[in-house]
Amino acid sequence: MNLAKSSILIFSARVCKAAIGFLAVTVFSRELGASPLGTYYPFLALLGIIGLPANLGIRQATKKRISEGNDKSAYLGTGLILKSAIVFAISGILWFSGTYINKFLGANLAQLVVITLIIDQLGRFSISILHGELRVGETAILEVIRPLSWLVVGYFLYLRGYGVYALVYGYLVGTILASMVGWWKVSVSIGRPTVEHARSLFDYARFSAISSVGGYFYSWTDVGILTLFVVWGIGVTRADIGAYENAWRLSLVTMLFGKSIATALFPQISRWDADDATDRIESAIPTALLPSLLLVIPAFVGTLILSKDLLRILFGPEFTVAWLALIVLAAGKIPQSLHTLLSRSLNAIDYPDLAAYAAISSALLNMIFNIVLIWQFGIVGAAIATVGSFMINTILHAHYLNQFLDIELPLREAIWSVVASAAMGIGVYGARLMIELNSIIQLLAIIVLGVIIYTVAILTYSPIRLEAQRTLRPLLTELVS
How large is the average pLDDT for residues 444-450? 93
How far is Cα 202 from Cα 75, in angstroms, rounded to an integer?
11
Q: Per-residue pLDDT tens for 86-97?
A: 899 999 999 999
Per the CB < 8 A criterion, the answer to whether 112 and 175 are in contact is: no
Per the CB < 8 A criterion, the answer to whether 131 and 267 are in contact is: yes
How large is the average pLDDT for residues 107-125? 93
| pLDDT at residue 479 in the model | 46
Per the CB < 8 A criterion, the answer to whether 263 and 10 are in contact is: yes
Closest CA to 452 of 479, 435, 431: 431
Per the CB < 8 A criterion, the answer to whether 247 and 324 are in contact is: no
Cβ neighbourhood burial of 473 (10 Å; 0-12, 13-18, 19+): exposed
How far is Cα 66 from Cα 128, in angstroms, rounded to an integer?
9
What is the amino acid identity at position 142? L
Ramachandran bin of 107, using left for φ above 0, alpha for ψ from -120 to 50, beta for the remaining angles? beta
Closest CA to 75 of 122, 124, 128, 123: 128
What is the amino acid identity at position 254? T
Query: Per-residue pLDDT for 371 more than 70?
Result: yes
How far is Cα 274 from Cα 266, in angstroms, rounded to an integer?
12
Query: Per-residue pLDDT for 113 more than 70?
Result: yes
| Choice between 219 and 67, residue whose per-residue pLDDT is larger | 67
Which residues have CB under 8 Å from 477's CB, separation 6+? none
Q: Per-residue pLDDT tens for 23-35?
A: 888 899 998 888 8
How large is the average pLDDT for residues 295-307? 93
Per the CB < 8 A criterion, the answer to whether 46 and 101 are in contact is: yes
Q: Which of 131-145, 169-183, 354-368, 452-466 has the lowest mean pLDDT?
A: 131-145
Model confidence at 309, pLDDT cuts 50, 70, 90, reads very high
Q: Which pairs count as long-range contacts for 151-155, CB under 8 Å and 24+ apart, including other chains?
A: 151/20, 151/21, 151/23, 151/24, 151/27, 154/24, 154/28, 155/24, 155/27, 155/28
Q: Per-residue pLDDT tens for 310-342?
A: 999 999 999 999 999 999 999 998 888 888 778
How large is the average pLDDT for residues 277-297? 73
What is the amino acid identity at position 135? R
How far is Cα 51 from Cα 116, in angstroms, rounded to an integer?
11
Q: Per-residue pLDDT tens for 386-435?
A: 999 889 988 988 888 888 877 777 788 889 999 999 999 999 999 999 88
Handedness of CA 320, 323, 325, 326 (dihedral sign): positive
Q: What percent of the chain has pLDDT over 90?
A: 38
Per the CB < 8 A criterion, the answer to whether 435 and 442 are in contact is: yes
Which residues have CB under 8 Å from 157's CB, separation 6+? 165, 166, 169, 170
Which residues have CB under 8 Å from 416's CB, separation 6+? 458, 461, 464
Per the CB < 8 A criterion, the answer to whether 253 and 295 are in contact is: no
Query: Per-residue pLDDT for 381 more than 90?
Result: yes
What is the amino acid identity at position 387? V
How far is Cα 413 from Cα 464, in angstroms, rounded to an integer?
7
Query: Per-residue pLDDT for 60 more than 90?
Result: no
How large is the average pLDDT for residues 362-367? 87
How many other CB atoms are found less than 10 A from the CB of residue 182? 23
Q: How many residues does the chain have?
A: 481
